[in-house]
Amino acid sequence: MAAEKPLVSVTCTAPTNIAVIKYWGKRDEKLILPINSSLSVTLHQNQLKTTTTAAISRDFKEDRIWLNGKEEDVGHHRLQSCLREIRRLARKRRSGSDGDLVPLSYKVHIASVNDFPTAAGLASSAAGYACLVYTLAQLYGVESELSEVARQGSGSACRSMFGGFVQWHMGERPDGKDSIAQQVAPESHWPELRVLVLVVSAERKPVSSTSGMQTSVETSSLLKTSGHTPILLPSVLALDSWIISENWLIALQFRAESVVPGRMAEMARCIKERDFEAFGQLTMKDSNQFHATCLDTFPPICYLNDTSRQIISLVHCFNAYYGKTKVAYTFDAGPNAVIFTLEETVDEFVAVIKQVFPPEMNGDKFLKGLPVEPVELSEEVKSALPMEPFPGGIRYIITTQVGPGPQVLEEPQRQLLGPDGLPKPVS
């Protein structure tokens, strides 16, 4: 049987996602269990995706993996967790009868490529681990709770297992069985929603998310108080996340325990009702609180740079000019901005960006993704913009939209491994 089918392979793609309620901090490092729930938008794979091929053969001597063409250590514990979990689920599902299924004892070769800058704050680990887990699951015929497995590769990866709008429930159980992702609404739910990725820098980020959030949990009192003794503060410091108790406010574990639960419910409502005004405002506030937490970490972590801050000012100026929230920013663990807006505003806002950040690259090198029509800005809009032009501040823009979850690719030419089980040369 195996001699007739020396190599069995599957190729899949998976999306990246951008959180509008941010995940930052773990309660269990090994299982990757978060200290708060989070909610994200899955970005369309026509613009941003990871492609992964996984193959097994009786001729393979060991498990091997190539990322963006370079062989990496397959012994990495997160990778091992995903492989082990998928093989365990496959074993459980088969319960003795192998049938036509691929033998579990064979070694696997995996090749994976991203079509966007790795480690630039664009959640490449989310798409990467989602794609790995989905592809292995297809290979081994596993269908059960895959977000729980992807989570063990990278927290944000569990949200990339679904299209549309996705929440990751933090769960309560120590074994993580209830720390899973779930779709809030499908990709077709809000067809006018558009996403602009403003690529400010493609360099690697100075502090990885994994170590950054670890230091935040240890040191930031905005994120999580370390003791169980409530701090008492006078009521003049009234904030939306403080609880009134006999004219005193008791500070609870701030972001994770007091702020995020309410924001999760409010964000789900904004999405269900397609309320862009509230969606945009909450998205910006949650991004700002995440970055405030990073700055409150000791030593502080600064993911934003001068260009990021100029983009923030620009968004607020643009919205103030129109007297409503027409665009909203969010930033992950890097300086790149992700802008949410509606289809009707894309052309004008891109023209605004080009006015403030005159591109150093022209045409489709600066504007990638969905088509954007050039528009002439009125003098009134130009005079409302807050700053002097900053040439080259934004390297390029990727215009995209909400997209579906992982997909299987049927076309053999898109496989990343050749018949010998080694990566095909990059064309």
- If one asks whether residue 152 binds ligand 2P0 (CB under 6 A), the answer comes out as no
For residues 38 and 45, which CB has a smaller minimum distance to ligand 2P0 in the complex? Answer: 38
- If one asks whether residue 293 binds ligand 2P0 (CB under 6 A), the answer comes out as no
Stretch touching ligand 2P0 by CB under 6 A, among 47-55, 58-66, 151-159, 268-276: 151-159
CA distance 14 to 9: 17
Can you say how many angstroms the Cα of residue 423 is from the centroid of all Cα atoms in its chain?
A: 27
Site for ligand 2P0, residues 63 to 122, rule: CB under 6 A: none
CA distance 313 to 322: 14
Report the nearest approach of ligand 2P0 to the CB of residue 308 (Å). 13
Report the nearest approach of ligand 2P0 to the CB of residue 167 (Å). 11
CA distances from 291 to 178, 272, 305, 412 (A): 28, 27, 12, 43
Stretch touching ligand 2P0 by CB under 6 A, among 107-115, 150-158, 239-247, 395-403: 150-158
Under 8 Å between Cβ of 193 and 342: yes
Report the nearest approach of ligand 2P0 to the CB of residue 196 (Å). 18
Place of tokens 């100029």: 310
- If one asks whether residue 154 binds ligand 2P0 (CB under 6 A), the answer comes out as yes
Stretch touching ligand 2P0 by CB under 6 A, among 17-25, 47-55, 261-269, 307-315: 17-25
Q: Which amino acid is at 228?
A: H
Closest by CA position to 103, among listed 115, 113, 91, 114: 91
Residue count at the site for ligand 2P0 (CB under 6 A)?
16
CA distance 169 to 401: 24
Closest by CA position to 153, among listed 84, 71, 64, 66: 84
Residue of the chain from 333, 381, 398, 417 that contacts ligand 2P0 (CB under 6 A): 333
Under 8 Å between Cβ of 219 and 298: yes
Stretch touching ligand 2P0 by CB under 6 A, among 149-157, 242-250, 350-358, 399-407: 149-157
Place of tokens 């944000």: 156
Stretch touching ligand 2P0 by CB under 6 A, among 18-26, 175-183, 198-206, 400-408: 18-26
For residues 173 and 414, which CB has a smaller minimum distance to ligand 2P0 in the complex? Answer: 173
For residues 134 and 357, which CB has a smaller minimum distance to ligand 2P0 in the complex? Answer: 134
Give the containing element (helix H, strand E) for 366. Answer: helix 363-366
- If one asks whether residue 348 binds ligand 2P0 (CB under 6 A), the answer comes out as no
CA distance 133 to 112: 12
Q: Which amino acid is at 296?
A: D
Residue of the chain from 13, 23, 51, 133 that contacts ligand 2P0 (CB under 6 A): 23
Site for ligand 2P0, residues 156 to 185, rule: CB under 6 A: 156
Under 8 Å between Cβ of 42 and 166: yes
Can you say how many angstroms the Cα of residue 425 is from the centroid of all Cα atoms in its chain?
A: 29
Stretch touching ligand 2P0 by CB under 6 A, among 44-52, 154-162, 346-354, 384-392: 154-162
Report the nearest approach of ligand 2P0 to the CB of residue 397 (Å). 21
For residues 26 and 94, which CB has a smaller minimum distance to ligand 2P0 in the complex? Answer: 26
Please, what is the Cα angle at 400 between 394 and 402, to 5 degrees? 135
Residue of the chain from 81, 209, 293, 407 that contacts ligand 2P0 (CB under 6 A): 209
Residue of the chain from 32, 149, 180, 328 that contacts ligand 2P0 (CB under 6 A): 32
Residue of the chain from 13, 16, 81, 125 that contacts ligand 2P0 (CB under 6 A): 125
CA distance 272 to 87: 37
| DSSP-assigned letters across all residues of 193-227 | EEEEEEE---SPPSS-HHHHHHHHHHH-TTT--SS
Q: Which two structure tokens, joined as six digits, stand for 352? A: 């605004």
For residues 224 and 326, which CB has a smaller minimum distance to ligand 2P0 in the complex? Answer: 224
Query: What single DSSP character describes residue 418?
Result: -
Name the site residues for ligand 2P0 (rule: CB under 6 A).
Answer: 19, 22-24, 32, 38, 123, 125, 154-156, 209-210, 290, 332-333
